[in-house]
Amino acid sequence: MMQYFAFLITLLAFLGASQPVRERADDSWSVKSFSSYVGPHSISQMTAFSLLESPEATETITCSNATGAAISATPYLVPVVDGDCAPGSGFNFSFRQLQDYAVELSVKHAESGRVATWTSGTESVTTTTTGDDPFDTLTSYVGPREFALAF
């Protein structure tokens, strides 16, 4: 019986030690060059960024989405439910504006099912008027362009 428990403990220790290697690499996804905006006289919103899978990554994964936009006098960016990342990367993303003009970005790896998220501070979305017409407005994300995602 004692040998059985010793074997079981050894097996569990081995399995526990082997799994985190992949997870540790994944636990450091980061975003560079993040932007989301609706230009003046536009009915399209563009959201784009570069994703790094680890600090050692030398290549970025491009993620972007163009979607219909809302034209409003208040800062409002439309939610992105299923944004695309580079074909074959296995990543996709979602983006939404929260209360007090904060935003949330979630990135998902399809194969592993892991999701990492980042939430900005408040007042991260603004509207700038560029003329007298109601359509003369630029609505854009103005928070940090580089940040780490958290699991």
What are the residue boundaries of the structural domains of the chain, listed by start? 29-148
pLDDT value at residue 11: 39
Contact 124/100 with Cβ under 8 angstroms? no
- Of the candidates 55, 58, 65, the one whose C-alpha atom is nearest the C-alpha of residue 29 is 55
Single pTM value for the model:
0.79
Closest CA to 95 of 110, 115, 78: 78
Q: What pLDDT is recorded for position 112? A: 95
What are the pLDDT tens digits along the chain (151 aa)? Answer: 545 344 444 434 444 444 444 444 446 899 999 999 998 888 899 999 999 999 888 899 999 999 988 666 667 899 999 999 999 999 999 999 999 999 999 999 999 999 999 999 999 999 888 888 877 888 999 999 999 999 9
List residues bridging with 51 in a β-sheet: 31, 61
Half-sphere exposure of 43 (CA within 13 A, CB side): 1
DSSP state of 150: B
Tell me the residue type at 131.
Answer: G
Q: What is the pLDDT of residue 72?
A: 66
